[in-house]
Structure 1
Amino acid sequence: MLKVSSLNIYYGAVRALNNISIHVKEKEFVSLIGSNGAGKTSLLNGILNIVPPKSGEIVFQNRTITGLPTKKKVKMGISLVPEGRRVFPNMSVHENLEMGGYQKSSKIKNRQMEFVLDLFPILKERNKQLAGMLSGGEQQMLAIGRALMSDPKLLLMDEPSMGLAPLVIKNVYEKLTKLKENGLTIFLVEQNASVALKYADRGYVLENGKIVLQGKSSELKDDNEIKRAYLGKEYKEKWER
C-alpha cells in the first residue's frame, strides 16, 4: 500500500533522514522504533509532505504522491494522529471529530461518527465536553477518532503512548489492533519499543536518520542489540512502575 524509497529530508543544512526506504502492505500493522531525535516524526511529515522531501519517492496504492499537497494526500486516504494529540482544546469533543471529516460528505461523516463513538464509548459520554478538559488518554482516543473521521485507508501515528499510563497504553493499542482486524493499515512511530513490537506485525529501527534493522516484530524483540538499546532493565522498570 505504501512504499517509501531513498527518502532524504533536510532542515536547512541538517540532514534528518538519510536514504530511508520502508514499505507497508495493505492491512498490515508496522512500527518504526527509535530514540528521540532519530527522525521518526520527520518520516511521517515527509510522507504527508508537511516537510517536503529533498529527494526520494513515495508511492501510495501504486501512485506516486511524493510532491502532492498534504490536503490531497488526506483526501486520498492517508490520515495522521500527531505527536502530543494536538486536539483543539477550546472545541467540544463533537466539534473536534467534525473537523476530522471536513472534506467528506455528510453520509460518510455520519457513518464514521457512529463508528468512532462505538469504538471509543467514552467520547460519546464526553461528546459536549471541551477537549481541553479530557484526560491524556481520552485526548489520545479523540485524536485517533478525529483521524478516523476522514475514513482513511492508511493511518499514520506519532508516539501514541507518549505521556500515558501503562493501562491506558494497553487500551489504545488494543483499539489499534481492532482497527487492523477491521482492515485498516497502520504505520506508527514509537519510542516505546516494548509495546510497539508487542502489537505490530513488523518493525523497523531508525537511528540517526537511517534504518539499521528491520524484520518481524517477534524477531526484533529477540535481537540482542534491540534488547540492549530499547528493552533494557532501566526501560523495563519504568514500563512496569
Structure 2
Amino acid sequence: MLKVTSLTVKYGSIVALKNVSVHIKKGEFVALIGSNGAGKTTLLNAIYGLAVFEGDVVFKDKNLSNVASHKRIEMGLSLVPEGRRVFPNMTVLENLELGGFKKDKQFINRKIDEVVELFPVLKERFRQLAGMLSGGEQQMLAIARALISDPELLLMDEPSMGLAPMVIKEVYEKLSILKKNGLTIFLVEQNAMAALKYADRGYVLENGKIVLQGKSNELINDNEIKRAYLGKEYKEKWER
C-alpha cells in the first residue's frame, strides 16, 4: 500500500532523514520507534506532503512527489498530528465535522455515527468545547476526526504523548479494533513498548536512519531496544 524509498529530507545544511526506506502492506499495523529528534515526525510529514524530500513516496501505486496534501487525503491518507491539535474553541461535534470538510453532509453524519460507536465518550461531549476535554479525550477526538475522511491508511504521530498509562492502553486498544476492521496504520512513537505490543512490525529510527526492523515480538525482546527505551532501571540491571 505504501512504499517509501531512499527518502532524504534536509533543512538547510541539516540532514533530518537520510536514505530512509519503509513499506507497509494493506491491513498492517506498523510502528516506527525512535528517540526525540530522530526524524520520526519528519518522515510522516514527507508522506503527508508537509516536507520537501528527495526519493520516492508511493501510495497505492501512485508516486506522491507532486501530489498536494489535500489530494492525498482524497486518495485515502489521514494524519493524526503530534499533540492532537484539536480546535480548542470549537465543539467536539464541529471538530468532527471538519474532518470531512470535502464530503457531503450525509456522508459526514454516517461517519460520525461510526466513530462515536468506537469512542462513545465523544457523543457525550458533542456540545463541549474541545479545549475542555482531558488529554485522552482529545487524543480520541483527534483520531475520530481523522477517521471522518474514511482513510485507507492512518498516520499517527506520538499517540501516547502526555497521556497516563491507562489512557495509553485504551487508545491502543481502540487502534487494534480499527486494525481488525481493516484499517492500515502507521504510527511513530517514543514509547516503544506500547507501540510494539500492538503493532505487527516495527522500524527503529536513529539520527535520521533506519537502523533496525523486524516483527514486533522480535524487536520487543531485543536487548538493545530494551536498553534504549526501557529507561535507567533496566539499563542498570542489564549492565550489571
Report the alpha carbon displacement of residue 233 of structure 1 after superposing the two structures with TM.
4.8
Superposed displacement of residue 66, structure 1 = 2.0
Match of 2:46 in 1: 46
Q: TM-score, structure 2 length as denominator? A: 0.96
Instruction: Tell whether 2:149 aligns with 1:150.
Output: yes
1:4-31, Cα deviation, whole Å (9 max, x unpaired)? 0000111121110000000010010000
Q: Using the alignment, how far apart are the partners of 1:64 and 1:172 within structure 2?
A: 32
CA contact (8 A) 2:33 2:202 kept: yes
Residue 68 of structure 1: CA displacement?
Answer: 0.9
Partner in structure 1 of residue 70 of structure 2 = 71
Q: Distance in 2 between matches of 1:72 and 1:109?
A: 18
- What letter matches 2:63 in structure 1? T
Which one-letter code corresponds to 1:51 in the other structure?
Answer: A
The answer for the alignment partner of 1:61 in structure 2 is: 60
Which runs of 5 or more residues in structure 1 are unaligned? 237-241
Instruction: Give 1:15's aligned amino acid.
Output: V
Could you tell me whether the CA contact under 8 Å between 2:87 and 2:130 is conserved in 1?
Answer: yes
Instruction: Determine the structure 2 residue equivalent to 1:2.
Output: 2
Distance 2:225 2:69 in 1: 34
Separation in structure 2 between the aligned mates of residue 64 and residue 15 of structure 1, nearest angstrom: 23
**In structure 2, how many angstroms separate the alpha carbons of the residues matched to 1:52 and 1:68?**
12
**Aligned counterparts of 1:109 and 1:115: Cα–Cα separation in 2:** 10
Aligned pairs for 1:224-235 within 5 A: 224-234=223-233
Counterpart-to-counterpart distance in 1, 2:205 and 2:58: 20
Gaps of 5+ in 2: 236-240
Q: CA deviation at 1:235?
A: 7.3
Tell me the TM-score normalised to structure 1 length.
0.95
Q: Is 2:205 the partner of 1:198?
A: no
Q: 1:189 Cα deviation (Å)?
A: 0.0
Aligned-partner Cα distance in 2 for 1:199–1:114: 26
For 1:179 and 1:146, the matched residues in 2 are separated by 14
Aligned-residue CA RMSD in angstroms? 1.1
**2:37 — aligned with what?**
37
Task: Indicate yes or no: 2:114 matched with 1:109.
Answer: no
**How many percent of aligned residue pairs carry the same amino acid?**
69
How far is 1:62 from its partner? 1.1
